[in-house]
Amino acid sequence: MRRATRLRPHFALACTPLLLCLFPYTAPAQQQTVGLEISSSVLPEEPRPQLGPQKSADGSASVSGVVLDISGASVSGAQVSLTDMGGAQQRTLLSGAHGEFSFTRLPPGSYLVIVHAKGLEPFTSAEFDITAQQAYELPRILLPVATASTEITVRPTEVIAAEQVKAEEKQRLLGIIPNFYVSYVHDPAPLTTKQKYALASHDTLDWTSFVGVSVTAGIEQANNSFAGYGQGAAGYGKRWAAQFGNGRSSDYLSNAVFPSIFHQDPRYFYQGTGTKKSRLYHAVSSAFVTRSDSGNTMPNYSYLLGAMCSGALSNAYYPHADRGLNLVFTNSFIGIAGRAGGNVLQEFIGKRLTKNSSASANGKP
């Protein structure tokens, strides 16, 4: 027992180095842990990002107004657009029954309002700013009536005349006999020289002209008119040639040559309105007076000279016994009387018998 007691101090001393070896590692570790905990507690928090005001549909401002016309009446159904200054169209709506409109839940910013209404001038407001929760009311929007704009297309007179002649060349009495020289347009475009010759050729060389010449020569053959031509095929051929020469020379001289020289219009201008007496006078007088290319009334030199010159030319191919001034004046009188009579028929019944005449063109207004 006494020996065991003595050994205890020695055992404690022997264990001391071991304890010293253990404590240096334990204490610093605890100190380090505490140090980390303190450092963590004193560091400031990382700053959070600050969100500035952004434009979204969740704003709190509003814009309202009313659309009126210049008289003060409300304009319903007007298209009202709200646009920000960046150029982006935010909202579009239609004004109400009393012209009212309202844009709600708007973010703060700069805006302008654009209004469109049928028949009225468009409107664009001045720029305005709104702040959060502001109820901005625009002054009354007054829209004046839109200014009417007329578009005028100017075309060359020659082009218009060509279109009118093309329509006239479709006109035929009973759908057969040419009726090209009647204008149902009271104030048509004047014809150029080229158009006068083209219309004369189209008319006088139409297939119906050859039929007419053939029938007339046959009647003269049966009546033994111009006996100097004789009978038989030779006599019929001479009569046919004389009739063909009369008609073609008269048509070209009266409707192309002299109208180009005197700047006159060879057509008959359908009146269609007024009393029967005034229409009869217009038809008969048109054989003696006509319209110039500039629209003035003047003596019908073209037809009078055309008839006389055509009669004079007939002296070159009619039998010697039938030649002379008598033949000239006879053919001239027949030509003028035929033109006057034809005009009367055109004025009173020609339009009803003419196929392809313009229904909208009814002569003098």
Q: Could you tell me if 135 and 250 lie in one domain?
A: no
User: Where is average pLDDT lowest: 1-15, 87-101, 188-202, 309-323?
Assistant: 1-15
pLDDT reading at 238 higher than 60: yes
Of 98, 121, 143, the one marking the end of a domain is 143
Is residue 291 assigned to a domain? yes
Q: Could you tell me if 82 and 131 lie in one domain?
A: yes
CB 68 within 8 A of CB 99: yes
Rounded Cα distance, 192 and 165, in Å: 11
Of 90, 116, 143, the one marking the end of a domain is 143
Q: Could you tell me if 228 and 344 lie in one domain?
A: yes
pLDDT reading at 331 higher than 80: no
Q: Could you tell me if 166 and 310 lie in one domain?
A: yes
Q: Could you tell me if 183 and 317 lie in one domain?
A: yes
Q: Which residue has better confidence, 327 or 308? A: 308
Is residue 36 assigned to a domain? no
CB 260 within 8 A of CB 305: no
Q: Could you tell me if 338 and 311 lie in one domain?
A: yes
- The residues near 43 (Cβ < 8 Å, ≥ 6 apart) are none
Is residue 35 assigned to a domain? no
- pLDDT at 194 (0 to 100): 96
- pLDDT at 236 (0 to 100): 96
Is residue 259 assigned to a domain? yes
CB 190 within 8 A of CB 293: yes
Q: Confidence class of residue 147 from pLDDT cuts 50, 70 and 90?
A: confident
Q: Could you tell me if 321 and 243 lie in one domain?
A: yes
Q: Confidence class of residue 311 from pLDDT cuts 50, 70 and 90?
A: confident
Task: Render 279-337 in DSSP notation, one character per residue.
Answer: HHHHHHHTTTEEEBTTS-EEE-HHHHHHHHHHHHHGGGTS-GGG-SHHHHHHHHHHHHH
Is residue 41 assigned to a domain? no
Instruction: Name the nearest CA neighbour of 185 among 268, 307, 126.
Output: 268
Rounded Cα distance, 228 and 324, in Å: 15
- The residues near 263 (Cβ < 8 Å, ≥ 6 apart) are 292, 293, 294
Of 98, 118, 143, the one marking the end of a domain is 143
Domain boundaries, position 133: 61-143
pLDDT reading at 86 higher than 80: no
What is the total count of domains within the chain?
2
Instruction: Name the nearest CA neighbour of 79 among 143, 36, 22.
Output: 143
Q: Could you tell me if 116 and 251 lie in one domain?
A: no
Q: Please report, for the domain that includes residue 96, its CATH number.
A: 2.60.40.1120
Q: What is the pLDDT of residues 270-287, one digit of tens each?
A: 999 999 999 999 999 999
Q: What is the pTM of this model?
A: 0.57
Average pLDDT over residues 170-178: 93
Is residue 302 assigned to a domain? yes
Q: Could you tell me if 107 and 202 lie in one domain?
A: no
Q: Could you tell me if 65 and 109 lie in one domain?
A: yes
Q: Could you tell me if 347 and 213 lie in one domain?
A: yes
Q: Could you tell me if 301 and 265 lie in one domain?
A: yes
Q: What is the pLDDT of residues 21-65, one digit of tens each?
A: 344 444 434 333 333 333 333 444 444 433 333 444 457 899 999
- pLDDT at 224 (0 to 100): 94
- pLDDT at 332 (0 to 100): 80
Rounded Cα distance, 201 and 238, in Å: 23
- pLDDT at 14 (0 to 100): 42
